[in-house]
A and B are shown apart, each in its own frame.
Chain A
Amino acid sequence: MRLFGKQYTEHSDEKLMQMIAEGDQQAFTELYERYSTRLLNYFYRMLWKDREKAEDFMQELFTKIIHKPHQYNPERPFKTWVYSVANNMCKNEYRRAEIRKPTSYTLDEGIQVSDNGVDVSRKIDAGTFNERLMEELELLDEKKKETFILRYVQDLPIKEIAEMLDCSEGTVKSRLFYTVKHLSDKLKVFDPAQKELKL
């Protein structure tokens, strides 16, 4: 509880960044508490669920905020800016690792939503739906993956995602539609319709 002095929790992200630029350590702590978990999970999803790498990337991102706070443009929303930085870091990491998967990579050839009950049973037995979903996400191309994670994991609005990725909202919608459609086709083996989902 803080009754006296500055109420950091009431400050916006942009104000906190301004205070960090002035050397306010408390402002940095507040900003860290707001975004550390989200960024860590983002990095975690984007970087192959590598916890250590995600921690390193998250720490590197906040280190940039500490040492180069003036690179932030106050006229731009901080969330958009920080996710853009995080996304660029992931892209760089993709390049370094040369593990970028082609968009054409699919499981169509291996896992067919077919009558092959063995495959279905294997998949079901292999893990839960989430694990399979994450696996399918890892197989997506970079743009669809980041768009899907930002939208459905980070719960960011389409408009902000468009700003982060420096594209139009229609592009984000299109990427999301085709990604969902693709994942639905790949995960059809779970047959959600038979699980009595109530829509």
Chain B
Amino acid sequence: MSDKEYNNVPDIDVLLSKPFAELDKDEQQWVLETMGSEEAFEDLRLNHAYMMEQLDDLPVIQPRKETHAALLAEFPQKERRGGFILWMNSLATFLVPPGKPVYRKPAFQMAIACLLLIGFVWIANPGATPENDLLASANDLQQELEGAPAFVDKVELDYELLADNYVTEEEELADAERPVAPVDDEQEVLPLIAFDAGPPANTFMAYEAENEPAEITAAIEEEVAPADDVANNFLPEVSPGTGLSSGDYRANLEDLEAGDRVAMEEVLDESTTATNSNSNNGDNVVMDPNTRVPATTDDKFADLADNRVGNDAYKDEPAKLGEVKNDGGVETSEVIAANEVEMDGKKRNDMLLKEKAKEQQDALAAKQELEGRESENSRLEDAIAVERERDKVNNVTNETVTGTSTGNTENNNLAFSPQFDADLDFVQNDTMPSPLVMPDSAMFLGGTFTESPSVTPLQNGVYTITATDVSTAGTADGTVTINANGSVAPYTYHWSPTPPAPTNKKGRSLAKDKDMMKFFFTAL
């Protein structure tokens, strides 16, 4: 049988599914040709059907599991991928296992449990809804904006305190009996005290003209102002009791407490140099005569800078030298104490003032304790005014050096290194004569000038302040009393500005918010 003949063969399954009568003519013709009779076809149908039924019941063998394992072992080993996905699928298999009813799947059971828990929480606390929370927050904010009662009470309390400070006359009168000024409600008493500690024992004051610091160079080269100018230049010069504001003073105190006394001592040195010029007449007016406001530290440094500029000009223009020569020299004295009283304490509450006063008192106590320790070894500092005058004629070598030791002038040992000419009119162990002529300026400039004063140590200065407030607002009847003791009497008190009814140690008729008191006293 050829393929063409095969192409005429009908599908046996279709053919045998129908009885002979249902076959079309072509199919019947084909059956009769191939099987010979209709009965043979029917027998074939029955046998085929039975055969197919039995084939369906054939046992199906299953492959062994080890076969699969053996095949996987032969599979090329590659890097495992999708570990996280595998884990997720495992989790999904656990949560939603196939073949179980929905109510038995863990995911469904956990969802029901969560719903029950949420429902329980909602029933137990029905008010705790997000809407209610938001509404409560809005109400709180509104109350806060409109003024919560507690906040209003505090504000009123603050006003009452301020009113007590400024309005109540009885309380002002009662405050007038208070002995200590710093705790005054209206006056912020900021006592400033500056102790001129002086150099330690075996004072060694040296300078090297070529290598010395800028300040010392300036002190050597600058022309010291005449005595008349000292008073005017006093404020710009650094006077720790007068030239610094209360804030600067507190900062200095903190620095002193921290052990950094270098800056303060420099300030004290410069202040002493400036004030000693008039120390004998006791006519120091520690104020700015124009503004009645003490000069600030910035002003002082500005003036120092101006002096340096002048010195530079002095170097360039020798003809100007000597114009500001100070015949009187610079006197060294000790500023035992200085205080500053500021009466601008408006809008300060009582608690803040007390805290500040306590801090100041503590700082002063620490300062005094420190000064007490150092004063044992302190010496009065002798200021040596050294002035040079270049030989204007020859403009070369000769230079005049004037050295004046003031203050404690006993047993001063003055020496130059290298040694000056023996012909110099200079006597050691005595007050330095004036003037001292140095024939060789180069020799002086390259050497050092030392002074070893031996003086009687000063005692520690102590002061007390007693202040009385104004009786009523607008009345200038406040007083401040300074009592000094220790050190070396007599004491001289200086007030700035001069109060209407001044005394040596008591300023009177002080007005609130009007007078800023600044005072210091000296003891020589």
Interface residue ranges, A against B (CB under 8 Å): 1-5, 23, 25, 28-29, 32, 36-37, 40-41, 44, 51, 54-55, 58-59, 62-63, 66-67, 129-130, 133, 152-153, 158, 168, 170-171, 173-174, 176-177, 180-181, 183-184, 187-188, 190, 192-193, 195, 197, 199
B67 touches A133 (CB 8 A): no
Q: Which residues from B are CB-within-8-Å of A195?
A: 50
Q: Do A174 and B78 touch across chains, with their CB atoms under 8 A apart?
A: no
Q: Contacts A130-B57, A173-B6 hold; do A184 and B74 have CB atoms under 8 A apart? A: no
Q: Which residue of A lies closest to B96 (CB)?
A: A1
Q: Given A3-B89, A5-B89, A184-B48, answer yes or no on A37-B7 (Cβ-Cβ < 8 Å).
A: no
With A36-B68, A37-B63: A183-B51 Cβ-Cβ less than 8 Å: yes
In the complex, A193→B7 CA distance in Å?
30
**When the two chains form their complex, are residues A32 and B68 in contact, meaning their CB atoms are under 8 A apart?**
yes
Residue among B49, B60, B61, B88 with most chain A CB within 10 A: B61
With contact pairs A3-B96, A4-B88, A32-B68 given, residues A174 and B50 touching in the complex (Cβ less than 8 Å): no
Which A-chain residue is minimally distant from B67 (CB atoms)?
A59
How many Å lie between the Cα of A3 and that of B86 in the bound state? 10
A28 closest partner in B (C-beta): B75
B6, B55, B96: the one within 8 Å of A153 (CB): B55
Interface residues of B in 61-104 (CB under 8 A from A): 61-64, 67-68, 70-72, 74-76, 78, 82, 85-86, 88-89, 92-93, 96-98
Q: How far is the CB of B223 from chain A (nearest CB, A)?
A: 94
**In the assembled complex, which residues on chain A have CB atoms less than 8 Å from the CB atom of B319?**
none
Q: Which residues of A contact B86 (CB under 8 A)?
A: 5
Top 5 nearest A-B pairs by Cβ distance?
A: A184-B47, A192-B50, A170-B6, A5-B85, A170-B7
What distance in Å separates the Cβ of A144 from its nearest Cβ neighbour in chain B? Answer: 13
B88 lies within 8 A of A37 (CB): no
Say yes or no: A58 contacts B67, CB within 8 Å. Answer: yes
Q: Beta-carbon contacts of B188-226 to A below 8 Å, as 1s and 0s? A: 000000000000000000000000000000000000000
Instruction: Give residues in B with beta carbon < 8 Å to A.
Output: 1, 3, 5-13, 15-16, 19, 34-35, 43-55, 57-58, 60-64, 67-68, 70-72, 74-76, 78, 82, 85-86, 88-89, 92-93, 96-98
B contact residues around A192 at 8 Å (CB) = 46-47, 49-50
B85's closest neighbor in chain A, by CB? A5
Contact A199 B57 (CB under 8 A): no
The answer for the CA separation of A119 and B176 in the assembled complex, in Å, is 149
Which of the residues B6, B63, B72 comes within 8 Å of A171, measured between beta carbons?
Answer: B6
Q: Hey, which chain B residues are within 8 Å of A25, CB to CB?
A: 72, 75, 78
Contact present for B12 and A41 (CB under 8 Å): no
Known interface pairs A37-B62, A129-B50, A184-B48; A29-B92 also in contact (CB < 8 Å): no
Q: In the complex, which of the residues B6, B46, B78 contacts A23, with contact meaning CB atoms closer than 8 Å?
A: B78
10 A–B contact pairs at CB < 8 A?
A3-B92, A3-B96, A4-B88, A5-B88, A25-B75, A41-B60, A41-B61, A66-B74, A67-B74, A188-B43
Contacts of B78 in A (CB 8 A): 23, 25
Q: Which residues of chain A are near B55, meaning CB under 8 Å?
A: 130, 133, 152-153
Q: Which of A58, A67, A170, A199 contacts B8 (CB 8 A)?
A: A170
Decide: B12 and A199 in contact? CB cutoff 8 A: no
- The distance from the CB of B281 to the nearest CB of chain A, in whole angstroms, is 102
B12 closest partner in A (C-beta): A177
Residues in A with CB closer than 8 Å to B71 are 28, 32, 59, 62-63, 66
* Majority SS at the chain A contact face: helix
Closest Cβ of chain A: how far from B80's Cβ, in Å?
Answer: 9
CA distance A40 to B64 in the complex (A): 10
CB atoms of B43 and A184 under 8 A apart: yes
Q: Which residues of A contact B15 (CB under 8 A)?
A: 177
Measured CA separation A62–B68 after assembly (Å): 9
Task: Tell whether, in the assembled complex, residue A37 and residue B60 are in contact, meaning their CB atoms are under 8 Å apart.
Answer: yes
Residue of B5, B58, B63 contacting most chain A CB atoms (<10 Å): B63
Q: Which of B34, B58, B60, B61 has a CB less than 8 Å from the CB of A51? A: B61
**Chain B residues with CB under 8 A of A171:** 3, 6
Compute how far the CA of A168 lies from the CA of B5 in the bound complex, rounded to whole angstroms: 12
Q: Which residue of A lies closest to B64 (CB)?
A: A55
Q: Known contacts A28-B75, A173-B12; is A1 also within 8 Å of B61 by CB?
A: no
Q: Pick the contact of A55 from B1, B5, B7, B67 — CB < 8 Å? A: B67
Residues of A within 8 A of B93 (CB): 1-2
B72 near A29 (CB under 8 angstroms)? Answer: yes
Please, which residue of chain A has its CB at the minimum distance from the CB of B78? A23
Given known pairs A133-B51, A184-B51, the reply for A193 and B44 (CB within 8 Å) is no
- A1–B97 Cα gap in the complex (Å)? 7
B87 CB → nearest A CB, Å: 9
Asked if residues A183 and B47 are in contact (CB atoms below 8 Å), the reply is yes
Which residue of chain A has its CB nearest to the CB of B86?
A5
Nearest opposing residue in chain B for A56, CB measure: B67
Q: Tell me which residues across on chain A come within 8 A of B45, comparing CB atoms.
A: 199
Q: Is the CB of B49 within 8 A of A197?
A: yes
A190 touches B88 (CB 8 A): no
A14 and B436 CA atoms in complex are apart in Å by: 119
A40-B61, A170-B6, A177-B12 are known; give 11 further A-B pairs, CB within 8 A.
A1-B93, A4-B92, A5-B82, A37-B62, A67-B74, A158-B11, A168-B6, A171-B6, A192-B50, A197-B46, A199-B49
A residues near B88, Cβ cutoff 8 Å: 3-5
A1, A5, A23, A176: the one contacting B98 at CB < 8 Å is: A1
Instruction: Tell me if B46 and A199 are in contact (CB < 8 A).
Output: yes
Q: How far is the CA of A1 from the CA of B100 in the complex (A)?
A: 12
* Cβ of A63 to closest chain B Cβ, rounded Å: 6
A97 to B50, CA, bound (A): 33
Taking CB atoms, residues of chain B closer than 8 Å to A193 are 43, 46
